[in-house]
Structure 1
């Protein structure tokens, strides 16, 4: 074995110039590289990306991967909001909840997710992704079904705690799926698609719960029927995941031969890698010292405080306008429609503009207006309509979270760094979701002033954080330009990962063969700091 040599990059973080010993396998090959490098090496060539083969493989991926991801997130969103539906159908009174107990049932899910993130980050590097998702979904479905037997705060709290633990890996896994299967141009719409299931949930979940609430049973309360129904449905879907969800583009049977090489080639221009199961501590160090990481953390925390509060107390806020339980559930359905439009509309505009920050700033404005309306308008019969309008304006906020996910996903490279950065970001999200419901209490009904004021402040703060992140990204792009120039490369490069594949694009950048692969850093499992060819997007 040869000694490793290290150098300091421009951030002061050590970068490995030669493979460390643990990255050399028994055959003398560098296993520290992305596993896709081995696929290309074994094939003896790489594919040439054309509009035709790119569209064909993207369609295959969308048809196989996306429906499963959408189904999982629909069920997760549904399972989390069953608490809010149950509250409308007597959960609070029949289980004798009082004080902050209902708020804590909403918050403890996210507290469990916060605590589990370090383990989730490690498992997502080391464990096959499809199997990880199947087991997670089965476990949380079983817990939700069992929650129908809980008849007091203690039992409900334990079930919600376990529910959060088993759901902790879903959002990080989906961000990993998006990075693993899609080009950076395609990521906002795909991330938006699965996150938009929150809107579908608010529409169809509300409708299904409305129907379940009408079931007359001598043994089960309506909220127990809701828990049991959705829990059993989730367990059944876990079998579908186990059978059909692939672990990665490198470990799947639905892409064969040249199509698998096209899938690899599509992602090479991302400069982010595809899959590596080696845990790298230098990636961990870099993620912790990267200022971008903590700005993603701050963004997710700031949006999740209002998200956690409104998702838990939303139906109760509407009920405070003077509606009965069935009208409350029905009037919550447009909330889901606005969510869906904001999420998919924002993602589509971000794809067209090739920019996320301006869209994020725009999406932060309607919730500000909505909070002001709910704070200033009188909660009486004469103002029911304007109050609902204000509530629906706030419901634009779910479009923000997936764009933050995709903004981070597009600006982080290196397998371990991607997982750690996502974990830190989800910790911020979980912390916000823990705090959010506790800023609302049932005693403050129907005004919920403390919760709405805090939400207003955070929506404004978000716009400031976006601006700071843009400055950081511009600085890091400038540093990469200087590094490229210093090693004799072109200072300004075209980021093809953000462009549509067109005829004539198959130039030298997309023709790298097995013989020249080692000169291409896209499959080195290098981080975005280490790889001077990485281009940050705003």
Structure 2
């Protein structure tokens, strides 16, 4: 077994069996002095590297991680998207009329979610660093479930806007926590597929939400129909938070579903990432490096621009109904959007996983399809409603590929725990800004200003991705030159789990 004891801030005692197959006999005790982050992970790694770990054993541990971790993230992602989109389902059933929303008030209600997201983003990232990821995330799920449920009790613009703000603040942790968790358990080559698994739940949620909203339209009740999405979605998230609190581990070293030898294998697997596992120390120099790194900003600008399309989320029902469909038809016609998103994510993220250095190329191809859909949506005459709805499906269904592969690029290519968190903060701040701006562009039907902005936004996304690809190719070339010139005295293991940034670790080559 493994015995871990923190003797001080500077040392960790680890005891591991001499081999994986030895039945658990005790090995020698090693005290590892740690002066930088990832202390427990480094202690595990130093002992695990001497074990004879077979490929079959590594695959068995990977399957075990997938079986226990992915369902937790996937269900959480599904419920998060349902909660966020419940406003879209409710607006078709007279929410605006019952609450007396006039002018741009509905646009502001939609944007308030991302004001909350923006305000709480960086504090949330700091709390993720200070506290166990699993426990903090589960408490945030509880919060967003309660806020979603309470939206059914609102009676005016102020109450709804305030709760949307709080909902956004609570949900701001989700993507950041998922990226951190994925990076802690999976090799860089394995990450795109796992990112796809939990992010594709957005597509499943769109399908399920559309069918659910269609069913709501057939309810005969004294309770206003617009309240049901908030009540049901909020209740599900609240219940799920209890499950997460007990089942979601904060890191591989505390994963309840792995025995202590398997934890060592899990940590040694991600050694090749060259980006560390977890550090509880905020490092100012890493934060500054993130602020000065071009690839951080190129990813963030592409994300912010792409998420101006987020305005479509809250207005999807209104846009589709504007094509001439009934209320119930409108709810059903949102389902194919989710199907297109789900299929495209599976196809493109699988390609990005199994074709080396194809992430940005795949993202650009998906963005091009989304751009074609946005042009259709803007240029086609309103009388051709099936051409318009097809353009809508293409635009909304393909752009998530660019977003999730951009997230994967940040996760895979940014080293240093503080730098990674700072990069994610920049990423999600611009993500929030894009989503705040988006709804404000949809003022009056047929929303021409918003549809035109979508075309411009997607052109910016493509441009940023092209520049980012060229920059990362340049960085890789320079690092290879440095490694070749210093190959006699550089050792990869000297950089393992030392919480170094990608720029301080010459072995950390960008995944393109």
2:58 equivalent in structure 1: 54
Secondary structure in 2 aligned to 1:485? Answer: helix
- Of 230, 238, 243, the residue aligned with 1:240 is 243
What per-residue deviation string (whole Å, max 9, x for no partner) do you get for residues 63-82 of structure 1?
Answer: 11110101111111000100
Q: Following superposition of structure 1 onto structure 2, how do residues 9-48 of structure 1 map, counting pairs within 5 Å? A: 24=10, 29-35=33-39, 36-41=41-46, 43=47, 46-48=50-52
1:476 equivalent in structure 2: 475
Q: Judge conservation of contact 2:121–2:169 (CA < 8 Å) in 1.
A: no
- Of 205, 212, 216, the residue aligned with 1:208 is 212
Separation in structure 2 between the aligned mates of residue 316 and residue 201 of structure 1, nearest angstrom: 19
Residue 189 of structure 2 corresponds to residue 188 of structure 1: no
Residue 127 of structure 2 corresponds to residue 123 of structure 1: yes
Separation in structure 2 between the aligned mates of residue 398 and residue 313 of structure 1, nearest angstrom: 17
Separation in structure 2 between the aligned mates of residue 182 and residue 69 of structure 1, nearest angstrom: 14
Cα deviation, residue 423, structure 1: 1.0
Q: Following superposition of structure 1 onto structure 2, how do residues 156-235 of structure 1 map, counting pairs within 5 Å? A: 156-218=160-222, 220-235=223-238
1:288 equivalent in structure 2: 291
Separation in structure 1 between the aligned mates of residue 503 and residue 313 of structure 2, nearest angstrom: 37
- Of 151, 157, 171, the residue aligned with 1:153 is 157
- Once the two structures are overlaid, the 10-residue window that deviates more, 248-257 or 482-491, is 482-491
Residue 387 of structure 2 corresponds to residue 386 of structure 1: yes
Separation in structure 1 between the aligned mates of residue 510 and residue 488 of structure 2, nearest angstrom: 17
The structure-2 alpha-carbon separation of the partners of 1:47 and 1:298, relative to structure 1 and needing over 3 Å to count, comes to farther
What per-residue deviation string (whole Å, max 9, x for no partner) do you get for residues 158-196 of structure 1?
Answer: 100100111111111111011111111111111111111
Cα deviation, residue 47, structure 1: 4.0
Cα deviation, residue 488, structure 1: 2.8
Separation in structure 2 between the aligned mates of residue 275 and residue 164 of structure 1, nearest angstrom: 26
Q: Following superposition of structure 1 onto structure 2, how do residues 352-367 of structure 1 map, counting pairs within 5 Å? A: 352-354=354-356, 355-367=358-370
Cα deviation, residue 386, structure 1: 1.3
Separation in structure 2 between the aligned mates of residue 394 and residue 286 of structure 1, nearest angstrom: 35
Q: Judge conservation of contact 1:141–1:231 (CA < 8 Å) in 2.
A: yes
- Of 47, 69, 86, the residue aligned with 1:82 is 86
Cα deviation, residue 461, structure 1: 1.6
Cα deviation, residue 490, structure 1: 9.6
2:300 equivalent in structure 1: 297
The structure-2 alpha-carbon separation of the partners of 1:317 and 1:521, relative to structure 1 and needing over 3 Å to count, comes to same
Separation in structure 1 between the aligned mates of residue 135 and residue 205 of structure 2, nearest angstrom: 25
Q: Following superposition of structure 1 onto structure 2, how do residues 272-421 of structure 1 map, counting pairs within 5 Å? A: 272-306=275-309, 308-354=310-356, 355-380=358-383, 383-395=384-396, 396-421=398-423
Q: Following superposition of structure 1 onto structure 2, how do residues 389-538 of structure 1 map, counting pairs within 5 Å? A: 389-395=390-396, 396-441=398-443, 443=444, 445=445, 447-489=446-488, 519-538=493-512
Q: Judge conservation of contact 1:46–1:265 (CA < 8 Å) in 2.
A: no
What per-residue deviation string (whole Å, max 9, x for no partner) do you get for residues 376-419 of structure 1?
Answer: 22212xx1221221111112212221111001111111111111
Separation in structure 2 between the aligned mates of residue 249 and residue 429 of structure 1, nearest angstrom: 29
Separation in structure 2 between the aligned mates of residue 81 and residue 351 of structure 1, nearest angstrom: 29
Cα deviation, residue 45, structure 1: 5.0
Cα deviation, residue 145, structure 1: 0.6
What per-residue deviation string (whole Å, max 9, x for no partner) do you get for residues 424-471 of structure 1?
Answer: 101110110000111112x2x1x2111011110111121111111012
- Of 103, 108, 114, the residue aligned with 2:112 is 108
**Structure 2 unmatched runs, 5+:** 1-7, 13-30
The structure-2 alpha-carbon separation of the partners of 1:156 and 1:52, relative to structure 1 and needing over 3 Å to count, comes to same
Q: Judge conservation of contact 1:370–1:394 (CA < 8 Å) in 2.
A: yes
Q: Which contiguous aligned blocks of 4+ residues in structure 1 show a shift greater than 3 angstroms?
A: 22-28, 43-50
Q: Judge conservation of contact 1:137–1:235 (CA < 8 Å) in 2.
A: yes
Secondary structure in 1 aligned to 2:414? Answer: coil
Higher relative contact order (CA 8 A, sep 6+): 1
Please, what TM-score do these two structures have when normalized by structure 1?
0.87
What per-residue deviation string (whole Å, max 9, x for no partner) do you get for residues 291-335 of structure 1?
Answer: 1111111011011101x1111111111101111111100011001
Cα deviation, residue 489, structure 1: 4.6
The structure-2 alpha-carbon separation of the partners of 1:478 and 1:326, relative to structure 1 and needing over 3 Å to count, comes to same
Q: Judge conservation of contact 1:49–1:266 (CA < 8 Å) in 2.
A: no
Residue 136 of structure 2 corresponds to residue 132 of structure 1: yes
Separation in structure 1 between the aligned mates of residue 133 and residue 434 of structure 2, nearest angstrom: 27
Cα deviation, residue 28, structure 1: 9.1
